[in-house]
Amino acid sequence: MKTDVDFMQIALQQAQLAWDLGEVPVGAVLVKDGEVIAYGYNQPIDKHDPTAHAEIMALRAGAEILGNYRLPGCELYVTLEPCMMCAGAMMHARLAKVVYGASDPKTGVCGSVLNLFEQSKLNHHTAVIGGVMSEECSTLLKDFFASRRAAQKKPMAINR
């Protein structure tokens, strides 16, 4: 039986696909009954779509595969703590659980900035587990942004 770490490793592979396209490396994997149903990785730049976060891409693919916009019993593994948009989509999909790797102190709503899933006035409460493979997930993001900063600092060649 696969563990949270096994699924997060798959999400990290998805994040690498995002990096390869020049996108912020975030990956997600949707799981039901211990089996991977769908994948997603960040694509907002490539798709010219501000909603094309890894989580949304995985939820869309999973809903299409299962033939239902509700995804009860499903779990989502994502390399970065979800933002408000993604958390809202997870609630509407009725996910059973979200597992994330790296915390996001700027936009994370699973405990960093706030915990949207703990709001008692909301009608669905998804279980949240954070910090699974957090070092690997954080390192991938840090390395990506360091490489972007380094590329911007390179002097431009002058052709004479």
pLDDT tens string 104-154: 999 999 999 999 999 989 888 899 999 999 999 999 999 999 999 988 887
Q: Please identify which of the residues 23, 35, 55, 136 carries the catalytic annotation.
A: 55
33-72 pLDDT, tens digit each: 999 999 999 999 999 999 999 999 999 999 999 999 999 9
Is the model's pLDDT at 158 over the cut of 80? no
Residue 159 has, within 13 A of its CA and on its CB side, a CA count of 0
- Split at pLDDT 50, 70, 90, the class of 156 is low
The pLDDT value recorded for residue 138 is 97
- Say if strands 27-32 and 35-41 run parallel, antiparallel, or are unpaired: antiparallel
The pLDDT value recorded for residue 127 is 94
- Split at pLDDT 50, 70, 90, the class of 157 is low
The pLDDT value recorded for residue 130 is 97
Catalytic status, residue 55? yes
b/e map of 96-132 (b: 16 or more CB within 10 Å)?
A: bbbbbbbbbeeebbbbbbeebbeeeeeeeebebebeb
Q: Which backbone phi and psi does 106 adopt, to 5 degrees?
A: -100, -40
User: Which whole-number Å values give the CA distances from 10 to 78, 133, 152, in the listed order?
Assistant: 9, 11, 30
| CA 68/CA 20 separation, integer angstroms | 31
Question: Is the Cβ–Cβ distance between 65 and 38 less than 8 Å?
Answer: yes
69-101 pLDDT, tens digit each: 999 999 999 999 999 999 999 999 999 999 999
The pLDDT value recorded for residue 65 is 97
The pLDDT value recorded for residue 160 is 58
The pLDDT value recorded for residue 124 is 86
The pLDDT value recorded for residue 91 is 95
